[in-house]
C-alpha cells in the first residue's frame, strides 16, 4: 500500500463523529493541560489512560496522541504570559516569549508559537507519511555508540545556552548529572545514593524536579510581591505575526521542524531535548546572540516548532518499531498493548487501519489545535486572568495532584517542595536552572549508551570512532566544544 492510499484509508477510519469527538476532546484537554502550569502531558496521559480502555483503539489512541501534541501547543501560552512553563518542553519558551510579552508583543509571540507549531507539525506529518519506513530503518540502525554521540552533542549544545555565569551553569549541569544517577543502576542493578530509602530506588521523579524547579520556585518568587502580577495579557493584539516576524522566524521554524523531527525519532530525544537544542542552535548561529533572552522571536519560533515536530518524530519508532523514544510514547505504547495491539515492524502491514488512522488523527488534530489556539486565545487568557492570590493556591493544588499522579507517592511531593525551595534559592543567586533539567534528562541515556558501547566493544572507547555516525556526532561535539572555548577566550581577551 502506498502512502497516499494508506492516508486515504486513515482518513476514512478517522472521519466518524465519535473519532472526531475524541480527537477534539484530546486536543482540548491537551491544550488545557499545556496552558495550566503544574500538570504536564505525562501526568495528563497517565490520568486519562483508564478512560481510553472503554474506547475503540483508534479513538483512544487519537485522544491520547492529541493530548500529547495539544500540550506542546498549549504549553507556550503560560510560558509567554506568566513565565511559568505549562509543561517541560516549554521551559525554554519562557526566556524570550515572556520578554516579548513584557515588551507588549505577547500577541506576536503567541501567534508565532501557534503558527510555528502548526507548520512544524504539518511538515513533520508529511515527512512521517511518506518516509516512515525509510526513517524507521535509519533509527533502527542507531545502536548505543550512536546514541552516545547524540547525547554528547545534546549536552555540548546545553553549554551554549547557559545564560549568566558559565561556572554556575556548568555546576548546574554537573548537579543534573549527579542527581540523575540517584536510584538503581540500570546496567547492573546496583543502588546509588539511595541510603536505604526505598522511595529513591526508582530515582528522582522528573515531574517533581520540573514542577518544583520551575513551577513552585516561580510561585515562591512571585508571592514576594503579590501586587506585581507577571501575567502579561492586557496588551494581546495582532496574533498574526508581521512580515518582519515571519522573515525572522521562517528559517528557525524550518530548522526547528527538521531538528525536532529527527530528535523525536531517536531514543532519548523527544520534545524537551528538541526545544532546548533548537534554542541553543538558533542562539549559536544568530548574528546577534545577545538578543536571545531579551525577546528574540527566533527564540520562540524555533523551540516551539521543534517540540511539535518531535511529537510526530517520536511516533515513528513507536508505531513502526514498537520502541518508545520518551516517557510519553512509552505510555502510548502501554495504551496500545492494553488494547491488545503490539506495535512493531509488522504493525503497518497487519493493522494498516490503525497505523494510518493515527497519522490521519494527527493531521486532523493539528488543524483543530490551530483553531483552539488562535481564535480561542482569549479563553486561555481568561483562564490565566484569575488573580494570582486565587491562581497560586489553585496551581499549587494542581501541581501537587499532578506530581502525585505520576507514581501515587507522597515522597514525590516532598521532592517537589525540595526542588521548589532549591530553585528559589538558585534563582535568587542568578543560577541558570534550565541546563540542570537537560542534563538530568540526558545523563542517564548518555551513561547507559556509553556503558553499553563499552560492553559490546573489544577496543574499549574506540568503538565510538569506528562507526561513522557515532564518530561524526562525537567529532561535531568536540568541534562545538573547541569553538565555545575559543569564543570564551576571545571574549575574555576583548574584555581585558
Partner 1 sequence: MVERLLNLFWILLGSAAAWQSWKLGLRGPSGPESGLFPFIASCGIAVLGLSLMLARASRVAQPQWPDARAGLRTVGVALGIALMAFGMDRLGFVVSAAIAMPVLLRTIDRASWLETLILTVGSIAAIVLVFGKLLGMPLPRGPWGW
Q: How far is the CB of 386 from partner 1 (least distance, A)?
A: 10
Residue-wise burial string across 188-207, b where 16 or more C-beta atoms lie within 10 A, e elsewhere: eeeeeebeeeebbeebbbbb
Q: How far is the CB of 400 from partner 1 (least distance, A)?
A: 6
Q: How far is the CB of 491 from partner 1 (least distance, A)?
A: 13
Q: How far is the CB of 418 from partner 1 (least distance, A)?
A: 10
Distance separating alpha carbons of residues 328 and 13, to the nearest angstrom: 24
Q: What is the torsion angle, in degrees rounded to the nearest 10, for the CA atoms of residue 290, residue 291, residue 292 and residue 298?
A: -140
Distance separating alpha carbons of residues 51 and 54, to the nearest angstrom: 6
Length of the chain: 496
Nearer CB in complex with partner 1: 235/389 = 389
Distance of CA 461 to the CA centre of its chain: 30
Nearer CB in complex with partner 1: 242/339 = 339
Question: Residue 289 half-sphere exposure, CB side, CA atoms within 13 Å?
Answer: 12
Q: How far is the CB of 368 from partner 1 (least distance, A)?
A: 21
Q: How far is the CB of 25 from partner 1 (least distance, A)?
A: 12
Nearer CB in complex with partner 1: 347/440 = 440
Q: How far is the CB of 60 from partner 1 (least distance, A)?
A: 14
Nearer CB in complex with partner 1: 115/391 = 391
Question: Which residues form the interface with partner 1 (CB under 8 A)?
Answer: 47-48, 50-51, 165, 167-168, 170-171, 173-175, 177-178, 181, 185, 187-188, 190, 192-193, 216, 219-220, 223-226, 388-390, 392-394, 396-398, 400-401, 404-405, 408, 410, 413-414, 416-417, 420-421, 424-425, 428-430, 443, 447, 450-451, 454-455, 457, 460
Long-range CB pairs of 125-132 (<8 Å, 24+ gap) are 125/312, 125/359, 125/362, 125/363, 125/366, 127/261, 127/312, 128/261, 128/312, 128/313, 128/315, 128/316, 128/359, 128/362, 129/3, 129/6, 129/7, 129/359, 130/3, 132/3, 132/316, 132/319, 132/320, 132/348
Tell me the three cell numbers of residue 384: 490565566
Strand 183-184, strand 191-192: pairing? antiparallel
Phi and psi angles of residue 323, each rounded to the nearest 5 degrees, phi first:
-110, 120
Nearer CB in complex with partner 1: 29/362 = 29
260: nearest Cα among 300, 305, 297, 327: 305
Nearer CB in complex with partner 1: 253/422 = 422
Nearer CB in complex with partner 1: 325/448 = 448
Q: How far is the CB of 47 from partner 1 (least distance, A)?
A: 5
Residue reference for cell 552533542 = 153
Q: How far is the CB of 256 from partner 1 (least distance, A)?
A: 30
Nearer CB in complex with partner 1: 118/431 = 431
Nearer CB in complex with partner 1: 194/242 = 194
Distance separating alpha carbons of residues 266 and 437, to the nearest angstrom: 19
Amino acid at each position: 500500500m502506498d502512502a497516499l492510499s494508506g492516508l486515504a484509508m486513515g482518513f476514512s477510519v478517522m472521519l466518524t463523529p465519535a473519532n472526531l469527538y475524541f480527537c477534539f476532546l484530546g486536543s482540548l484537554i491537551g491544550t488545557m493541560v499545556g496552558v495550566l502550569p503544574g500538570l504536564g502531558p505525562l501526568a495528563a496521559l497517565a490520568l486519562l489512560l483508564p478512560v481510553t480502555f472503554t474506547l475503540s483503539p483508534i479513538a483512544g489512541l487519537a485522544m491520547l496522541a492529541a493530548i500529547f501534541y495539544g500540550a506542546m501547543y498549549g504549553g507556550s501560552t503560560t510560558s509567554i504570559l506568566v513565565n511559568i512553563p505549562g509543561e517541560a518542553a516549554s521551559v525554554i519558551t519562557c526566556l524570550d516569549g515572556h520578554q516579548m510579552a513584557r515588551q507588549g508583543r505577547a500577541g506576536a509571540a503567541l501567534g508565532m508559537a501557534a503558527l510555528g507549531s502548526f507548520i512544524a507539525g504539518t511538515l513533520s506529518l508529511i515527512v512521517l507519511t511518506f518516509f516512515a519506513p525509510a526513517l524507521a530503518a535509519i533509527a533502527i540502525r542507531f545502536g548505543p555508540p550512536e546514541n552516545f554521540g547524540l547525547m554528547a552533542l545534546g549536552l555540548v549544545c546545553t553549554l551554549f545556552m547557559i545564560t549568566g555565569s558559565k561556572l554556575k551553569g556548568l555546576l548546574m549541569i554537573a548537579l543534573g548529572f549527579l542527581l540523575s544517577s540517584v536510584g538503581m543502576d540500570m546496567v547492573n542493578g546496583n543502588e546509588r545514593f539511595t541510603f536505604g530509602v526505598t522511595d529513591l530506588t526508582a530515582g528522582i521523579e522528573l515531574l517533581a524536579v520540573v514542577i518544583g524547579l520551575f513551577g513552585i520556585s516561580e510561585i515562591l518568587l512571585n508571592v514576594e510581591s503579590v501586587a506585581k502580577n507577571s501575567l502579561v495579557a492586557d496588551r494581546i493584539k495582532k496574533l498574526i505575526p508581521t512580515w518582519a516576524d515571519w522573515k525572522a522566524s521562517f528559517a528557525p521554524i524550518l530548522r526547528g521542524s527538521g531538528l525536532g523531527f529527527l530528535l523525536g525519532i531517536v531514543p532519548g530525544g523527544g520534545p524537551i531535548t528538541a526545544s532546548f537544542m533548537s534554542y541553543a542552535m538558533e542562539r549559536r548561529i544568530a548574528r546577534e546572540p545577545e538578543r536571545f533572552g531579551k525577546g528574540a522571536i527566533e527564540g520562540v519560533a524555533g523551540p516551539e516548532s521543534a517540540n511539535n515536530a518531535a511529537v510526530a518524530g517520536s511516533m515513528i519508532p513507536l508505531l513502526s518499531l514498537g520502541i518508545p523514544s520518551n516517557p510519553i510514547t512509552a505510555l502510548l505504547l502501554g495504551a496500545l498493548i492494553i488494547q491488545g495491539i503490539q506495535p512493531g515492524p509488522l504493525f503497518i502491514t497487519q493493522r494498516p487501519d490503525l497505523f494510518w488512522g493515527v497519522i490521519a488523527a494527527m493531521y486532523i488534530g493539528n488543524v483543530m489545535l490551530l483553531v483552539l489556539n488562535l481564535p480561542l486565545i482569549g479563553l486561555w487568557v481568561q483562564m490565566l486572568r484569575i488573580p494570582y492570590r486565587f491562581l497560586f493556591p489553585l496551581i499549587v493544588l494542581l501541581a501537587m495532584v499532578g506530581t502525585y499522579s505520576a507514581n501515587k507517592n507522597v515522597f514525590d511531593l516532598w521532592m517537589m517542595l525540595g526542588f521548589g525551595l532549591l530553585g528559589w534559592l538558585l534563582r535568587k543567586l542568578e543560577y541558570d536552572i534550565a541546563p540542570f533539567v537537560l542534563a538530568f534528562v540526558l545523563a542517564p541515556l548518555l551513561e547507559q549508551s556509553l556503558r553499553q558501547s563499552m560492553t559490546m566493544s573489544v577496543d574499549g572507547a574506540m568503538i565510538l570512532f569506528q562507526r561513522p555516525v557515532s564518530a561524526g556526532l562525537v567529532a561535531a561535539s568536540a568541534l562545538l566544544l573547541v569553538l565555545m572555548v575559543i569564543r570564551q577566550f576571545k571574549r575574555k581577551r576583548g574584555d581585558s
